Amino acid sequence: MSELNQIALKILENGKGILAADESTGTMTKRLQSVGVESSPENRVLFRETLFSSNCMRECIGGVILYDETIKQKSKTGKNIPDMLLEVGSYPGIKVDTGAKQLAGSKNEKITEGLDSLRERLKEYSKLGAKFTKWRGVYNITKDYPSKLSIYSNAHALARYASLVQENNLVPIVEPEVLMDGEHSADECFSKTSEVLKRCFEELIFHKVDLSGIILKPNMILAGASSKNQISNEDTAKLTVKCLKENVPSEVPGIAFLSGGQTETQATENLNLINKFNDTNFIMSYSYGRALQQSALKYWAKDTKDTNGTQKIFDHRAKMCSLATQGKWSKNLENI
């Protein structure tokens, strides 16, 4: 068992998942403004530190994806944020892409950038305490998209990223996200996600990436948010497991789903059902941002000094997600 494989398994073991706290300063500013809080560096780290010091961290959160600003910040007690996380048994991670930009040759699609100077940045992040990284490629579904150009270009970038990350002895999270936006059916989502995953793994293998030392962060198989043909949660779970069985090599140790615009309870219920239908050897867990933080953020905004109240909300949400990784969640547990 390689060191990278051990780290990947440790992040997702025993019902643990990943907290995606890697919102850029711009995104975090929008989130804070939406709940009436000023977006200062102090407020941004205060909210994150409130979550990072919650009781659920040891039991439910195996890793936290940070943003460049956050990994360099200190807690109220003067501890570096990565050290604070390691003390509660949660690995610090870091988002290393620089965002999705317009894809040359296809103006309605995106390509993720950030490969320039990545090797040097990875060395810096490793010294700061990072144990894993994240890079997100995005694909939209319409009659014409995702194009082969988008699928091939993003797969190539994800593979080059993963190869550089492993060279620096860090675990890459590979995140090819087929977006929920649109009117497409679940069958179209299944077909396009399959195509995206197949090409990603072809490129990862070509670039000699050790598949046992990565974590895959995919979307679930859902009908588009504007589709009139929504499917049941059970069908979502069955199609998602089928898609992963058919397109993800067995060496991959774990899959941590993104919530992709689902509500907190939707993301939890779908993960729970996925684990009920999971007949693979993959650990099926979560890497949620809003689906772990949104209720806590709304509560915190009312009184940023009410640390205990905010943590109670976050602890509950994390516990629900943890139960879902074991297929043990139920709706009646949601009443706190």
The CA distances from residue 231 to 189, 228, 236, 239, in Å, are: 12, 10, 7, 10
Buried b (16+ CB within 10 A) or exposed e, 153-187: bbbbbbbbbbbbbbebebbbbbbbbbbbebebbbe
Evaluate whether 257 touches 193 at the Cβ level (below 8 Å).
Answer: no
H helices present in the chain, as ranges: 3-12, 25-34, 41-52, 56-60, 68-71, 81-87, 118-128, 148-167, 186-206, 233-247, 264-277, 290-302, 307-325
User: Could you say which of 16, 217, 302, 328 is catalytic?
Assistant: 217
What H or E segment, with its residue span, contains residue 95?
strand 91-95
Please state, in angstroms and rounded to a whole number, the distance separating the CA atoms of residues 220 and 253. Answer: 18
Q: What is the DSSP string of 129-160?
A: T--EEEEEEEE--SSS-S-HHHHHHHHHHHHH
Please state, in angstroms and rounded to a whole number, the distance separating the CA atoms of residues 139 and 137. Answer: 7
Helix axes 233-247, 264-277, angle to 10 degrees: 60
217 is catalytic: yes
The phi, psi pair for 89, rounded to 5°, reads 80, 20
Look-up of token digits 């709940």: 35
Phi-psi category of residue 25: left, alpha or beta, with phi > 0 → left and psi -120 to 50 → alpha: alpha
Structure-derived torsion over alpha carbons of residues 273, 277, 282, 285, reported in degrees to the nearest 10: 0
Q: Which two tokens stand for residue 54?
A: 């919650």
> What is the set of active-site residues?
217
